[in-house]
Amino acid sequence: MPHVHHASVESLWVSAVLFLVALVYLREWLRAAWLVPDGVKGWRACSFFIGLLLIWVGLGSPLTLLDHDLLTVHMVRHLLLMTLAPPLVLLGVPWKLLPQRPVQGLVELIARPLHSALMRQLGRRLLHPAVGWIGATATLVVWHIPSIFMLGLRSQTWHGIEQASFLVTGLLFWWPVVEPSRNASKWSESSILLYLFFATLPCDILSGFLVFCDRVVYPVYLSSPRQFGMTALEDQQCAAALMWTCVTVVYLIAGTVFAARLLSPRWSQEYAIRQSETQAIALEKSDVQRMEAV
């Protein structure tokens, strides 16, 4: 079958890239553990590697071979890429391990534009919670429209774009939750709880529709080989129930942790300090702009 061949080739590439990322992260983490007193903690490094493992399961494992046969497998892959792997990867704070030494040659040509003012401004805009919420919601809804869903199954190119969009929007969505102190937006950190709550609504609507619908929404699975004794309708209901449960539990855990952290006296003090520093930086920038204008 053509999709089996493509999946095997894609699996090799994904495995190679993730293995290289893991090696680079491990090298820099070991270096920072010896040289930097306040480096990345061990549990964060473990979180990063588990996140990479989940990405591999979603993109490069034998699980991908069942993607065209079971909607449940298709849903598992999306949950891994969008809901489970991104927060674990971000908890590994990989940006702290970016090489601080001067780079030469081609690496320097690539790295220099990333540190430009334009790129930093673009990064701040992309990391705004509104961008993360809208991007994740749009990705979830659009790729589950039957015609676009079928496009992703029939075209290897669009299938790759689909998987990449789930992973990228997942990272953008989870950034304000995992690293709120680094978020450049003006949103109060307590509003992240509402951010998580409203993010469950599109998932609830979609999964509720798939669970209670009395027909198979994606006809491609009607002609698929029956796996594990499930009919196509039962497969659809299982996939929807899995998404409903997984998203609710993960967001509930994140919201509970975030609420407990916000209510702790130490966090409140750190938050007040960060707010003061942010206001001081904003005032300093405004003073510089006024002086330049004069």
Do 243 and 275 lie in one domain? The reply is no
Do 215 and 281 lie in one domain? The reply is no
Rounded to 10 degrees, what is the CA torsion of 155, 157, 160, 161? Answer: -110
Do 162 and 46 lie in one domain? The reply is yes
Joined tokens for residue 56: 């591999």
User: So what's the pLDDT on residue 61?
Assistant: 86
The model's pLDDT over 2-54, given as tens digits with 9 standing for 90+, comes to 455 456 677 888 889 999 999 988 888 887 766 655 667 888 889 999 999 99
Max mean pLDDT range (20-34, 97-111, 261-275, 278-292): 20-34
Confidence class of residue 286 from pLDDT cuts 50, 70 and 90? low
CA 63/CA 155 separation, integer angstroms: 18
The model's pLDDT over 121-169, given as tens digits with 9 standing for 90+, comes to 676 777 888 899 999 999 999 999 999 999 988 888 898 899 999 999 9
Joined tokens for residue 26: 């491990």
Do 228 and 279 lie in one domain? The reply is no
The model's pLDDT over 158-183, given as tens digits with 9 standing for 90+, comes to 988 999 999 999 999 999 888 755 55
User: So what's the pLDDT on residue 103?
Assistant: 45
Is residue 130 situated within a structural domain? yes
Confidence class of residue 271 from pLDDT cuts 50, 70 and 90? low
User: So what's the pLDDT on residue 184?
Assistant: 46
Do 93 and 39 lie in one domain? The reply is yes
Give residue 283's domain range: 270-294
User: So what's the pLDDT on residue 273?
Assistant: 55
User: So what's the pLDDT on residue 239?
Assistant: 94
Do 146 and 172 lie in one domain? The reply is yes
Do 60 and 45 lie in one domain? The reply is yes
Rounded to 10 degrees, what is the CA torsion of 77, 79, 80, 85? Answer: 150
Is residue 29 situated within a structural domain? yes
Tokens 């990867």 appear where?
89
pTM for this entry: 0.80
Q: Which residue has the higher pLDDT, 243 or 280?
A: 243
Do 177 and 209 lie in one domain? The reply is yes
Write the DSSP symbol of residue 182. G
Is residue 108 situated within a structural domain? no
